Amino acid sequence: MIRLPVARPGPAAGLAAATLVLLWAAGFAWFLRATRAEPPPPPPADGIVALTGGAQRIEAAFRLLAAGRGQLLLVSGVGGATDFIPLARRAGVDPALEPRVTLGRAALTTRGNATETADWVHENRIRSLIVVTADYHMPRALAELTRALPGVALYPAPVRSAAPREGTDAATLRRLAGEYTKWLAAELGLTALDPHPPLRTGVERESGG
């Protein structure tokens, strides 16, 4: 039997790998600080978008709408069985806000949220937008929305979660590391390479309930 020589990584390859690991770790440290940072309250805007993934996000967006921080609200990625009235009651806001709320049912991913939001923004001629999502999800959401909405001013209104405050918990760190890696992919535009569609097909958005 002829044994072929096995290529072994040289010092340069090992140095490059170590450099990439250090860069990833430094970026992850920045990401953790960024998710803990408290941004200023968002200024009044034409619209508000809540990216679903937790009841607190929707409730926070409803309260911003009720307080007059935006004129219209899109709740992007709502499940098919969700109606306006239960959401309004849970948030403790006046159901009379219903004509100003759109329940977007098409989005399946964060990129889908951005696509759905872009359609809604263009339909309503919105030039400034308050973005409501979890604090650890905000960097990725802004990356996708910025790409989908050039020229639209985006104001983050993060919903505080327990995750960033539990930095010593291994499971939490893994979750945040995964979110950081997804954010990097979004920043590099790699999410556009995902073969799975970001939107449900044959689903219409609803204004109100």
- Indicate the domain borders of the chain: 36-207
CATH code at 36-207: 3.40.50
Q: Chain-wide mean pLDDT for the chain? A: 85
The beta-strand segments (E) located in the chain are: 45-51, 70-76, 101-104, 128-132, 153-156, 206-207
pLDDT beneath 70, residues of the chain = 1-10, 13-14, 162-168, 201-209
- The pLDDT of residue 201 is 57
- The pLDDT of residue 164 is 46
The residue with tokens 């958005």 is: 205
Which tens digit of pLDDT belongs to each residue from 185-199? Answer: 888 888 887 777 777
- The pLDDT of residue 2 is 62
- pTM comes to 0.82
- The pLDDT of residue 209 is 46
